[in-house]
Amino acid sequence: MAKEEAKRKAQEEKELRRQTEAEARAQAKEVARLKAEQKAVEKAQSRAEKEFMRAGVKPVRWLLPFARVFFVYTPLVLLLALGLMHFVNLGMLAGPVEKIASAVIGEPVTVRNLRVSLFPHAHLALSDITVGADKDIGIRSVQVVPELSTLFDEEKNLKSIEIIELKVDAASLRRQMQWLETLADNDDLKIGQITLKGLTLSVPGFGAMVFDGNVERSAVGALSRLELSGVEQNLTLELLQQNGNCRVILRAGNWQMPVAGGLRFDNFSAVGIADSNQVRFSSMEGELYGGSFKATGVLAWSAQPVASGNFELEQIRLPAALSAMKSSAAVDGILNVTATFTSQADEGQGLAEAAEIDGSFQVRDGRFNGIDLANHMVSGSASGNATRFDRLSGKLQFRQGVYQYRQLVLEAPQLKARGNLDVQPNQDVSGSISAELAIPSRRIKSNLAVEGKIGNVRLK
């Protein structure tokens, strides 16, 4: 997290430098333009004076100093004022802005710094902003671009508002969505576009993510949805007020789910309803490792992170999935799983390890690499390339890091086997197998013990 925070701050500083340099270039361009105009005025004045003298008309000499002051020094003063507007804090004039903002969102708003800028267009730059009676929510800055023609009208129009670095947590999400809804649907303040930059969304126990976003509105101007795009991940969130809660639509590509034990999705989508304590997903779907994923579940964080639900995996390529999970198991095949899960941990990242899973599985057209069960039954040696099978099925339980495989059934053209296996957190494997092999001359039955490590299993 520290590395991500440092990266985010570096990006913010880079963007701030880029904006500052852009404003400086625009200001320099404007200064150059005004100087050129000033030179043109001086040249025209000099030419007029010469023409005036050639015409034989005696000038009124006492007017000349005043003319020079007006044409020469007044533009310089204006130029200096325009430059200083970017640097002088006009916070003492922030009262009307605070009053309007407080009335719009329904909570006290305090603005410590206010500046006016004309580059690249006229706008107000508000910074060091707090919201709430307890000033519990901070915003780094807000850029406001007004419609200048409506500044003194009762109904004021704004071309755009950009909210920069607003920090949102799950507990206050409903409150801040209400701000945006009120802001978008206000009769006395018409706003063309509302955007957010560097919004930090945090969920207790799960850390924080940074988004950019915009507020989309209906044809009548009411809040339609808040759309957020992840700054560091290919992830989007759509949020919409619904019956006092928040409807959440999540979409992602090439995404590693924080609570899925390292599994990476080619694409992923989820729909749910969130309140201050949990999000209940009615649908989760995705594609990964050649197959598909479907689930429903609840993710809660009121006391500590808790997850529960059910899921299905279909047509998963086992070698790719096992590699992503950093497992050394040498099993090939196409996996289907149906399971339920519950989990509780101190941090969201620990939910996968703390999960309790109950399910059934089936692997088709697969093999156990590095061990030959049929050869062991015939010759007493398990060495060989692999044990191939058409179908392997069974029940799975996962508790406290221990995988328990029960009611295992392996089916191949000449080989049938049943058994139970346990895999410990340190990758120790133990269990028993009852197998039957049919060969042309005879039928062989064996009861075998299984031991060793994942990737180096032995039969006895």
Identify whether residues 21 and 98 lie together within a single domain.
Answer: no
Nearest residue to 371 via CA among 453, 296, 439: 453
Q: How many whole angstroms separate alpha carbon 379 and alpha carbon 294?
A: 45
Of 242, 261, 286, which marks where a domain is finished?
A: 242
Query: 103 and 160 share a domain?
Result: yes
Inside any domain, residue 337? no
As a whole number of angstroms, the distance between CA 101 and CA 202 comes to 25
pLDDT surpasses 60 at 143? yes
Q: Would you place residue 75 in the very low, low, confident or very high pLDDT band (cuts 50, 70, 90)? A: very low
Give me the residue label for tokens 């969201």.
348
If asked whether residues 46 and 158 sit together in one domain, one would say: no
Per the prediction, the chain carries an average pLDDT of 80
18-27, 41-50, 92-101, 172-181, range with the lowest pLDDT: 41-50
Its sign, for the CA torsion 225, 239, 98, 13, is negative
Are residues 159 and 206 both part of a single domain? yes
95 shares a domain with 76: no
Integer Cα distance of 272 and 277 in angstroms: 13
- Whether residues 109 and 75 share a domain: the answer is no
Strand partners, 235: 252
- Say if 299 falls within a structural domain: no
* Of 277 and 383, the one with more pLDDT: 277
Looking at the structure, do residues 53 and 163 belong to the same domain, yes or no?
Answer: no
- Average pLDDT of the segment spanning 68-91: 45
Residue 341 in contact with residue 318, Cβ under 8 Å?
no
Looking at 200, 216, 242, the residue that finishes a domain is: 242
One domain for residues 127 and 146: yes
- Residue length of the chain: 460
The Cα 92–Cα 2 span in angstroms is: 37
Residue 273 lies in a domain: no
172 assigned to some structural domain? yes
78 lies in the same domain as 98: no
Q: In the chain, what percentage of residues exceed pLDDT 70?
A: 73
350: in domain: no
Domain boundary among 84, 108, 125: 84
Backbone angles phi, psi at 43, to 5 degrees: -65, -45
**Is 307 inside a domain boundary?**
no
Residues 398 and 447 in one domain: yes
Specify the 3-state DSSP secondary structure of 351. helix
**Residue 98 and residue 212 in one domain:** yes
In whole angstroms, give the CA distance from residue 27 to residue 49.
33
pLDDT tens across 340-370, in order? 999 998 887 788 888 999 999 999 999 988 8
Give the type of residue at 218: S
Do 385 and 446 fall into the same domain?
A: yes
Pick the more confident residue, 159 or 392: 392
Which ranges of 69-172 would DSSP assign to H, the alpha helix? 74-84, 95-105
Question: pTM above the 0.75 mark?
Answer: no
What is the residue range of 370's domain? 355-460
Total of domains in the chain: 3
